[in-house]
Amino acid sequence: MTAVLTLPFDIIYQVFVYCLPPEADVLPWRREAPLPLLLAGVCREWREAALATHELWNTMHLYLFAHTILKVGPLLDFWIPRAGNLPLSMSLIFNMEDNSSGSGAGVDALDSLIAHYARHWTSIRLRMPIPALRRLNSSMVEFSCLTKVVLYCGLWVPLDDAQAPVAAFSNSPKLRELHVLSKPVSQFVFPWDRLATLRLETTTVGDCLRTLARVPSLVDFTTRLWDWDESVPTHVSLPRLESLTLPQSHTRGPELLHFLTLPALQRLGLDLEGQRQIRHCTSFVTRSSCSLRRLSVRLGPLWTRGDFVRLFVALDSLEGLEVRQATRSLDAGSELLKDEARMLPNLMSLNIKRTMPEEEDAALLADLLESRWNIPAGTSLPVRLKFFKLSSPLAPPFTDVKGGEAVHRLARLRVAGMDLQITSSDRIGRVLVFGRR
């Protein structure tokens, strides 16, 4: 320790800053102290150095329960001045233990905590019921640095005429990212026109479209559609939206596309179970005139070669394709890509994930990859397939004669430069069968 103390302050300062994790944690209910307090507790000299190193104190993350809020005030009063003139980043996660009540000392303390340090918050995540969250409306303070809000409100409490909307974070001029894990979204008031990233959980198609009509600057949108309503707006156009993800929305996801025009869309994730959903998707791409670059899709079990033709023709700009929960019907698509160079001519990345234990056709796999790597002169393919990944509960049959020949062909593609990975997953774990570690 004596030798360390002889180091110049600049060196100690750099060592302290290097020790910081990506996000410094303050977890008041745990026994261990956060890093700045640990460094300050080593000795008097380190305490002086730690207190003088403002970078140790300008980021903090609070994970609170109702019974721990009252302990945070003294800690914040000690912590915040140590940041000096550096911009302070404060993150708050509040997990309400009693999710059925909107009152109590814990909620009152949380209201005071949020209001008192309003100008320091950069992100807030709250898990609490609507009545408790509505009580924060009374503060009506400006969150001048707040950029991200995540709300989970549990069971839905209907909004009637006697109740005010939830407007606790309506005065947030820098808010750009919002996650509302509750329904319906119409009871919340936010600076919708400024949002760039939005996630809605368990919303209806109508509520989703009504919300989208309020966010003209949206760039990234994710939603899980759970139902259809009777009143649906006719159409919504979002000129800046680049990424749209509709996880586990089944047929409702493609039906939502029928009401959207997204000319800037580059990334799309959805389920396509049958021909009706394929038509919704292809007509949407044509109507939007978008250059889709990435597609993550779950295919139906009865897809035919004709279904793949209809989809691939509409997606000639596609560079990356991910097939989730692939079935044997994907073989028809693989055959099409192998035989027809005009299908997905810009494809550079192919990721296939199987969840059912189905044996892979190793020869077809090798044929497909070779056709997209060894491009003959004079063909219309502008790019090679550079990345391929297969995840499956069963390893491809590389043990027989035909499979042994296929593995040698795949090995040659790896040597030539293709990033090729094949993994097998079961209850025991994930095993790399073929590819790079």
pLDDT band at residue 161 using 50, 70 and 90 as cut-offs: very low
Q: How long, in residues, is the chain?
A: 437
Measured between alpha carbons, how far is residue 360 from residues 174, 257, 390, 410 in Å?
50, 33, 10, 14
- Split into its structural domains, the chain has a count of 1
Whole-number Å distance between alpha carbons of 358 and 323: 15
Asked whether residue 93 is domain-assigned, the answer is no
Asked whether residue 397 is domain-assigned, the answer is yes
Least confidently predicted of 1-10, 309-318, 353-362, 376-385: 1-10
Whole-number Å distance between alpha carbons of 364 and 353: 16
Structure tokens at 204: 């209806």
Is 398's pLDDT higher than 60?
no
For the segment 23-32, what is each residue's pLDDT rounded down to a tens digit? 544 444 454 5
Whole-number Å distance between alpha carbons of 115 and 138: 10
Query: φ, ψ for residue 389 (rounded to 5)?
Result: -140, 135
pLDDT band at residue 103 using 50, 70 and 90 as cut-offs: low
Whole-number Å distance between alpha carbons of 41 and 391: 49
Query: How many helices and strands (H and E) does the chain possess?
Result: 14, 17
The residue among 94 and 395 whose pLDDT is bigger is 94
Least confidently predicted of 211-220, 295-304, 357-366: 357-366
Residue 339 domain boundaries = 293-437
Asked whether residue 303 is domain-assigned, the answer is yes
Helix/strand/coil for 253: helix
Least confidently predicted of 52-56, 109-113, 369-373: 109-113
| Closest listed residue to residue 183, CA positions, set 147, 145, 153, 142 | 153
Whole-number Å distance between alpha carbons of 77 and 64: 17
Residue type, 81: P
Answer whether 320's CB lies under 8 Å from 349's CB: yes
User: Domain containing 346 — which CATH number?
Assistant: 3.80.10
Q: How many CA atoms within 13 Å lie on the side-chain side of 241?
A: 22
The residue among 183 and 2 whose pLDDT is bigger is 183
Give the chain's mean pLDDT. 81
Average pLDDT over residues 47-57: 82
Cis peptide before 393 (omega within 30 of 0): no
Average pLDDT over residues 303-329: 92
Residue type, 357: P
**Nearest-5° Cα angle at 297, 368 to 306:** 60
* Percentage of the residues of the chain whose pLDDT score is greater than 70: 81
The pLDDT score that the predictor gives to residue 228 is 73
- Rounded to whole angstroms, the maximal C-alpha distance in the chain is 77
pTM: 0.82
Asked whether residue 184 is domain-assigned, the answer is no
Is 156's pLDDT higher than 60?
no
Is 179's pLDDT higher than 60?
yes
Asked whether residue 414 is domain-assigned, the answer is yes
Asked whether residue 332 is domain-assigned, the answer is yes
Least confidently predicted of 129-138, 322-331, 335-344, 421-430: 421-430
The residue among 77 and 257 whose pLDDT is bigger is 257
Asked whether residue 154 is domain-assigned, the answer is no
Residue type, 310: R
The residue among 372 and 57 whose pLDDT is bigger is 372
The pLDDT score that the predictor gives to residue 114 is 81
| Closest listed residue to residue 164, CA positions, set 141, 142, 136, 134 | 134
Whole-number Å distance between alpha carbons of 326 and 138: 51
Asked whether residue 341 is domain-assigned, the answer is yes
**Nearest-5° Cα angle at 100, 166 to 167:** 5
Average pLDDT over residues 170-179: 92
Answer whether 292's CB lies under 8 Å from 318's CB: yes
The pLDDT score that the predictor gives to residue 120 is 82
The pLDDT score that the predictor gives to residue 99 is 45
For the segment 186-228, what is each residue's pLDDT rounded down to a tens digit? 778 899 999 999 999 878 888 888 899 999 999 999 998 887 7
